[in-house]
Structure 1
Amino acid sequence: AARIIRAFGFRNIMTVNAVVSSVFLAACALFTVTTPLLLIMIILVVGGFFRSLQFTAINALTYADVEPERMSRATTLASVNQQLAISAGVALGAFSVETTMLFRHDTELTAGDFGPGFLVVSVLSAMSTFYFMRLPADAGHQVSGRRTVVISDPTRESEAEEEASRETVTARDQRIS
């Protein structure tokens, strides 16, 4: 994970990975009794890799700007936040399964009731892409080892232009005299 993040940066990895992870999560909605076990295993393993990469990137970025003396507080806050997010996802998935059963007028839970739940949670996961896209290009560079992106400052550029202009006028005036 460290090499991948260093090569592509947190923003790029997390943005693309949110979509890829969501696609693999949505693929679970297509599982039926006739789905080959090997295909199910491949989807779960590859999807698990991308979800694991996403969790690693999010957790590493969580602590990128935290001073060492505040690390224990940040760890506690991040753990609570992560548990709340997981709980919300499980609750939303369960609500989707219950709603599916209600619409189908089912009284017993069947495998077919889980498909819409996977799709709902997948869409919610994919929505995180919009937040990851808004991260700065050099987000987390201090922990990834990736070099910072230098963005020019328009105010400094105009100051440099004015100074160059003054030097040109001064040099011209000295030649004329």
Structure 2
Amino acid sequence: MSGHVAPIKIFTPLRNELQNQRLFSGLARATHSSGQTYEELKRQCQQKGTLFEDCDFPANISSLFYSEKPPIPFVWKRPGVSMTLLRDPQFIVGGATRTDICQGDLGDCWLLAAIASLTLNEKTLARVVPQDQNFGPGYAGIFHFQFWQHNEWLDIVIDDRLPTFKDRLVFLHSAEHNEFWSALLEKAYAK
């Protein structure tokens, strides 16, 4: 045994359980420049009777194209508020599934594949896409999503203004025309 110490091995099921505890527990760090959490920002909008506008990711071309000119003229619209063809927007319709994801005019199929794989695990999906969000009572034009980055959860807050052309979403959208979780998730990731 000449001073050799054998490494301690953790059984794979135990190691996986420890990783799951870390991934699915704990609060996400708020990332909005105001320092406020999603709940604080939403409550503030509800008290003022206003819809949230994200100053960190404004509804303009610079949020998407930096210095380039967009290929078509976008109009940023809120589901149900300014999308004239839509009367009943929903966050999730009948559960989130991989068929909710339709690629738009952006070449981000790698992101769409990752989003589709999220729908295969309800626990993971609920962590990334908090399910308590909607366009119904208490609607304030604000949504949030959580992303795992650099060994911590980040809570990304966005408004629900989405780029449209001729009243249709330009980028990721759902096969259900009144469902918006996937489009809003893509926007949060872009931010």
Give me the TM-score of the superposition, normalised by structure 2: 0.25
Give me the TM-score of the superposition, normalised by structure 1: 0.26
State the structure with bigger RCO (CA 8 A, min sep 6), 1 or 2.
1
Which of the two has higher C-alpha Rg? 1
